[in-house]
Amino acid sequence: MKAAALLANEHRKPWVLDPVAAGSSQFRLNACLELLRLKPTVIRGNASEIIALSQAGIDMGPTKGVDSCHESMDAVEAAKFLAEASGSIVAVSGAVDIICSSKSITHGNRLVFVHNGVPMLQKITATGCAVTALIAAFVAAADPLHAFDATVSALSVFGIAGEMGMELGQRSCFVADAFD
């Protein structure tokens, strides 16, 4: 992972950090912090993961587990702190997706809330990984100056696909068609 991140940086390619279960062990937290130091373009995690990363700098209360035990809106301050400390765009997924960046980077001081998606997405393991991959694809295709908007768009498109899948699922069992 470190070699991939270093190579991406060397070639000025964007990359996205998904700090899976960062708060569930010291080993995972340290691994994520090491990757964080390599300056990802975007960090995408659920509320617990983003709080765990920001806790490494300040105490924001307890957190653990692979799934989030926090609502995304609980992580607004953690996301702002992490964006400022890391210089990365920070995306917190959940009922409301939160995307923020600090004044220290090109995208400036921005905070956007995306309300797309359906609660079932949270119950399907790997939708977090999938939306991270979609963010990477959008950011890779966009002008580097538009990485923030690309991140917002990816989360919105993924949420809308979830809404369409939910509607399709009322009529047939091919919910996955909406994501094709």
CB closer to ligand ATP out of 67 and 77: 67
126 binds ligand TZE, rule: CB under 6 A: yes
Binding track, positions 44-73, relative to ligand ATP; x by CB under 6 A: --x--------------------xx-----
Question: Is 149 in contact with 139 (CB distance < 8 Å)?
Answer: no
* Residue whose pair of structure tokens reads 């994520």 in the numeric block: 32
56 binds ligand TZE, rule: CB under 6 A: no
Q: State the Cα–Cα distance between residues 129 and 16, nearest whole angstrom.
A: 11
Shortest separation between residue 179's beta carbon and ligand TZE, angstroms: 14
Which spans in the chain are helix H? 2-10, 26-36, 47-55, 76-86, 120-123, 127-141, 147-171
Q: Please select the residue that binds ligand ATP; options are 52, 131, 135, 152, rule is CB under 6 A.
A: 131
Q: Which residue type is seen at 68?
A: S
Q: Which stretch binds ligand TZE (CB under 6 A): 9-17, 84-92, 122-130, 147-155?
A: 122-130
CB closer to ligand ATP out of 14 and 159: 159
Q: Which stretch binds ligand ATP (CB under 6 A): 35-43, 55-63, 103-111, 120-128?
A: 120-128
Half-sphere exposure of 23 (CA within 13 A, CB side): 24
Shortest separation between residue 104's beta carbon and ligand ATP, angstroms: 26
Half-sphere exposure of 163 (CA within 13 A, CB side): 10
